[in-house]
Amino acid sequence: MLQKIESLRAEIASLTAADAAELETLRIKYLSKKGLVSALFDEFRQLPADSKRELGRPVNELKAFALDKINSLRAELEADAAADNVCDLTRTAAPMPCGTRHPLSLVREQIIAIFRRLGFNIAEGPEIEDDWHVFESLNFAADHPARDMQDTFFINRAPDVLLRTHTSSVQTRVMENNRPPIRIICPGRVFRNEAVSARAHCFFHQVEALYVDRNVTFGDLLQTLRYFAQEMFGPQTRIRLRPSYFPFTEPSAEMDISCDLCGGKGCSFCKGTGWVEILGCGMVDPNVLDACGIDSKEYSGFALGMGVERIANLKYRVSDLRLFSENDLRFLDEFIGAR
Ligand code: DAH
């Protein structure tokens, strides 16, 4: 009997199973009620008492050994299956969260690309500015309401340090340090002390354009505006200029484009007028050129400035300004693949 136990043990030790079915066959062969180990127990029961004392332990150990072996073969098979899953190239890929361009970046890049085709270069300036660059050099009168605490975030008074309220400040920075011809486009963030709502925010984005050279005329401005509008909103887009006032331009105008929702017929988006306002513009006031050391008798120029959120609203119909800065993925995901 001891010999039988030994040879069965050696047999079990060398068992292998290629899959779960093979393993089950082995389990039945050795451990089921009619299996070889059970048969050994039947035999054991027939033995006289003193042999039982001698063989009880080896026979029980054999059973435990067989159980261990079957269990470890099962564990090996399961580990193999898990490893196979990792390499299963036919499995559907797990979704990978993927970032997207922010709509304001998309629009800013489009605006820049259009002006680049006309030969404009990018210029940048600081967000924290002084009174000279934001107001004084741009012909704002000392008591102009835009200088007021209610509009402007001041960091320090006398000397004034403030957050720029518009990107027109970059005009001054460029004209102070460069001689014409100047053809620049200035994208950037601006700040105004406004209560945050769907239609106003305490920070937003602008793009400013400036062209200064000999003989720059209002006709050049008009043609640039028309080109920009049609590149941005499509060739069917019409523009119109309304007289306006800005301290740093003379004459000044605001530009409307034909409403592309109703094709100019009038709808709720354009409040029945068929037109929507998109930017301010004008011929650079001679005082501004002179303040920056450019002879206004020799040179002239045009400037224009627009809100990036405004253009994005027209392109993508985002009617609540707050969405642009809340970083809600449900909103941002809408722009996956947008152009
Ligand atoms: N700076 C103006 C604003 O923030 C926008 C603007 C209007 C810029 C007319 C210009 C311009 O360059 O010519 O509202």
Alpha carbons 323 and 55: distance in angstroms, whole number: 82
pTM: 0.74
Q: Whose CA is nearest to atom 8 of ligand 1?
A: 305
Q: Tell me, letter by letter, the H, E, C secondary structure of 148-174.
A: CCCCCCEEECCCCEEECCCCHHHHHHH
Report CA(11)–ligand 1 centroid distance (Å): 92
Q: Whose CA is nearest to atom 7 of ligand 1?
A: 280
Three-state DSSP class for 280?
strand
Q: Tell me the best of 246, 252, 283 to mutate to test the pocket of ligand 1, counting ligand atoms within 8 Å of each CB and taking the most.
A: 246
Phi, psi of 256 (to 5 degrees): -110, 150
Report CA(99)–ligand 1 centroid distance (Å): 33
The pLDDT of residue 217 is: 98
The pLDDT of residue 125 is: 97
At 284, list the tokens.
């650079």
Neighbour tally for 96: CB within 10 Å? 5
Asked if 127 and 186 touch (Cβ cutoff 8 Å), the reply is no
Q: Whose CA is nearest to atom 12 of ligand 1?
A: 304
The pLDDT of residue 273 is: 94
The two beta strands, 121-122 and 182-191, are: parallel
Question: Of ligand 1's atoms, which has the minimum distance to the CA of residue 302?
Answer: 13
Alpha carbons 272 and 284: distance in angstroms, whole number: 33
Q: Whose CA is nearest to atom 6 of ligand 1?
A: 305
At 80, list the tokens.
């193999």
Alpha carbons 71 and 17: distance in angstroms, whole number: 11
Alpha carbons 230 and 67: distance in angstroms, whole number: 81
Report CA(47)–ligand 1 centroid distance (Å): 109
Report CA(317)–ligand 1 centroid distance (Å): 23
Strand partners for 183: 211
When computed from its CA atoms, the radius of gyration of the chain, rounded to whole angstroms, is: 40
Alpha carbons 230 and 138: distance in angstroms, whole number: 30
Q: Tell me, letter by letter, the H, E, C secondary structure of 241-255.
A: EEEEEECCEEEEEEE
Place of tokens 């779960």: 20
Place of tokens 């159980």: 67
At 181, the amino acid letter reads P
Q: Tell me the best of 248, 277, 308 to mutate to test the pocket of ligand 1, counting ligand atoms within 8 Å of each CB and taking the most.
A: 248
Place of tokens 């105008």: 253
At 205, list the tokens.
């984005």
Q: How far is CA 310 from the centre of its chain?
A: 19
Q: Tell me the best of 166, 183, 216 to mutate to test the pocket of ligand 1, counting ligand atoms within 8 Å of each CB and taking the most.
A: 166
CATH node for 103-335: 3.30.930.10
Give start and end residues of each alpha helix (H) in the chain.
2-13, 20-31, 36-46, 49-86, 103-117, 131-134, 168-177, 218-233, 286-291, 308-316, 323-326, 329-332
Question: Of ligand 1's atoms, which has the minimum distance to the CA of residue 281?
Answer: 13
Asked if 150 and 194 touch (Cβ cutoff 8 Å), the reply is no
Alpha carbons 39 and 25: distance in angstroms, whole number: 17
Report CA(82)–ligand 1 centroid distance (Å): 64
Question: Of ligand 1's atoms, which has the minimum distance to the CA of residue 206?
Answer: 4
Place of tokens 């259009």: 114
Asked if 324 and 309 touch (Cβ cutoff 8 Å), the reply is yes
Cis peptide leading into 251, omega within 30 of 0? yes
Q: Whose CA is nearest to atom 3 of ligand 1?
A: 166
The pLDDT of residue 148 is: 81
Report CA(281)–ligand 1 centroid distance (Å): 6
Residues within a 6 A CB radius of ligand 1: 166, 168, 208, 246, 249, 280-282, 303-305
**From first to last of its 339 residues, what are the pLDDT tens digits of the chain?**
888 888 888 988 888 888 888 888 988 998 888 888 888 888 888 888 888 888 888 888 888 998 999 899 889 888 887 776 667 788 788 887 778 899 999 999 999 999 999 999 999 999 999 999 999 999 999 888 888 877 899 999 989 999 999 999 999 999 999 999 999 999 999 999 999 999 999 999 999 999 999 999 999 999 999 999 999 999 999 999 999 999 999 999 999 999 988 888 999 888 999 999 999 999 999 999 999 999 999 999 999 999 999 999 999 988 899 999 999 999 999 998 887
- Parse the chain into domains and list their residue ranges: 2-84, 103-335
The pLDDT of residue 80 is: 80
Q: pLDDT tens, 97-127?
A: 778 899 999 999 999 999 999 999 999 999 9
At 265, list the tokens.
């017929």
